[in-house]
Amino acid sequence: MPYEDQKPVVTFLKQALAAAGAAETVTTHISRLFLAGDRVLKLKRAVRFPYLDFSTPEQRLAACAAEIALNSRTAPTLYRGVRRITREPDGALAFDGAGDLVDAVVEMRRFPEADLFDAMARDGRLEANHIAVLAQALASFHAEAAIDRERGGIAAMAALVDMNDAALRATGLVPADAAGALAARFRAVLARNGPLLEARRAAGKVRRCHGDLTLRNICLFEGKPTPFDGIEFSETIATIDVLYDLAFVLMDLWHRERADLANLLMNRYLDAADEADGIGLLPFFMATRAVIRAHVTAAQAEGADDAHVKVAEARAYLDLARGLLADAPAALLAVGGFSGSGKSSAAAAAAPWIGPAPGARILSSDRIRKRLHGVGALTRLPDGTRCERLFSR
């Protein structure tokens, strides 16, 4: 619910951007974005929800500072900084003045909406090279993220399952018995994976992550895949298992019928990160993310002009969740042949369809050699190093 009138601030921001033309406004449930020229000013709305409190100027300023600090980890050149809005002695509003604090905004650099990964996926412009670079970036980001051994584990995922169940029932998207059956399946899979979740938490795999890693929160900025708009308002939501962070974009790709890119993302990420022990958690993590999208999309449908479209999409997310939770048999496929005969291409084509989503882990001798040499999967090894260390350990 709104706690104060921000109309004077909105007017001030539009006037501040007027030199670049009329500002385009985008409104979400917690923010208003004003876009003009090469600038974006992001205003936190004066609202309070169970999971965040932006009801005072001081809280909004703190949230802006947190957004800059956290998102600078993945998008340092996209975020310009925090601008305080003050009321000066003459009564006028100003940026970073000496008067009383009225509000605050995050200033960002603008990029074309067509460069969002969800738009690129929709238009058929999201390619394997984008995903390979993104995987390396995410692996590096997760490796450097702060470890938290208190949050996460089975208790955190059980709370998410309960929250998803309650939120799904509140939408009325499915009958109560169907919601109950889905929640029971989640709890059964969670119980089976509880020891692994706890082991990963103890091993430092729960970290301060992005928290909302959907395709819409990744853009191609200055030629590089750039995650942005991570969760700044909740340590609980964003302090999670690194594979649960990855699972959101994996699920998003799978939902958009880009199983090839989802499998590629998983494999390139695992080439760069020591997370192979958690592969079995990915279907459960992806299913959890799918249910979140289902009840959020269903809630957005209420009163919307395209309500029927949103309801259909919400049901598709639920169908995806059910499919992700279904048991799939293990399998092993060996691909051999002469150099240049297409082994890698054949393996990449088959991998998305082997085992549970997001498909099979590809163990490539070329990439194993590169890892033994301490270089990334995209780095070319010099001549004479193809086999010398493969069997050295």
Going residue by residue through the chain (393 aa), what tens digit of pLDDT does each one get?
Answer: 455 679 999 999 999 999 999 999 999 889 999 999 999 999 999 999 888 899 999 999 999 999 999 999 999 999 999 999 999 999 999 999 999 999 999 999 999 999 999 999 999 999 999 999 999 999 999 999 999 999 999 999 999 999 999 999 999 999 999 999 999 999 999 999 999 999 999 999 999 999 999 999 999 999 999 999 999 999 999 999 999 999 999 999 999 999 999 999 999 999 999 999 999 999 999 999 999 999 999 998 888 888 899 999 999 999 999 999 998 888 888 888 777 778 888 888 988 999 999 999 999 766 666 666 667 666 776 765 544 333 222
- Beta-sheet strand order (sheet of 39-44): 24-27, 31-36, 39-44, 100-109, 79-87, 93-95
Select from 111, 109, 87, 82 the least CA-distant residue to 98: 87
DSSP E strands, the chain: 24-27, 31-36, 39-44, 48-49, 52-53, 79-87, 93-95, 100-109, 206-208, 218-221, 224-227, 239-241
Residue ranges and CATH numbers for the domains of the chain are 7-110 (no CATH), 117-330 (3.90.1200)
The pTM score is 0.89
Task: List, in order, residues 6 or more apart from 333 with CB less than 8 Å away.
Answer: 347, 350, 354, 360
CB 265 within 8 A of CB 253: yes
Could you please report the per-residue DSSP string of 195-250? HHHHHHHHTT-EEE--S---GGGEEEETTEEEE-----S-HHHHEEEHHHHHHHHH
